[in-house]
């Protein structure tokens, strides 16, 4: 089954660094309102484009999105942010940022996910 990638995006937000290699990874809106890489932290959303520093970053905060995974995941898995902003299967006590809509086989696969409001993994 295919999934669209529609949801709610933040408005005009500048990239605080070169994010051109981080499309579909987790990002944060940091100090000064700039978008920064979200490695190892709860995410504000998933980067939809590939802006250079100062360019406009499109960040999906809810709904369906494509996301880069950091390891194999099963369909329906609760996901957290791992290294380099890639999503991985959530472990106890970590913030769930998305749910996998399909399985992904390996590091760097891009899969559809459902973002938003998932809480902390029990």
| Tens digit of each residue's pLDDT (9 = 90 or more) over 32-69 | 888 888 776 778 899 999 999 999 999 999 999 999 99
pLDDT at 32: 81
Question: Which DSSP state fits 51?
Answer: P
Do the beta carbons of residue 100 and residue 79 sit within 8 Å? yes
In 3D, which of 67, 80, 69, 65 has the Cα closest to residue 106? 69
Does the pLDDT value for residue 6 go beyond 70?
no
Beta-bridge partners for 90: none
| Lookup: tokens for 74 | 């099963």
Provide the CB-side half-sphere exposure for 85 (13 A, CA).
23
What sign does the dihedral 32-12-84-22 (CA atoms) show?
negative
Q: Provide the mean pLDDT of the chain.
A: 89
């Amino acid at each position: 089954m295919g999934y669209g990638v529609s949801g709610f995006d933040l408005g005009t937000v500048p990239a605080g660094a070169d994010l051109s290699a981080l499309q579909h990874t987790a990002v944060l809106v940091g100090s000064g309102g700039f978008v920064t890489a979200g490695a190892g932290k709860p995410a504000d959303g998933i980067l939809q484009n590939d802006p250079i520093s100062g360019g406009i970053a499109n960040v999906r905060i809810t709904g369906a999105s494509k996301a880069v995974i950091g390891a194999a995941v099963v369909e329906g898995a609760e996901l957290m942010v791992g290294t380099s902003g890639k999503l991985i299967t959530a472990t106890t006590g970590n913030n769930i940022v998305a749910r996998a809509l399909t399985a992904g086989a390996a590091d760097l696969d891009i899969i559809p996910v459902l973002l938003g409001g998932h809480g902390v993994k029990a």
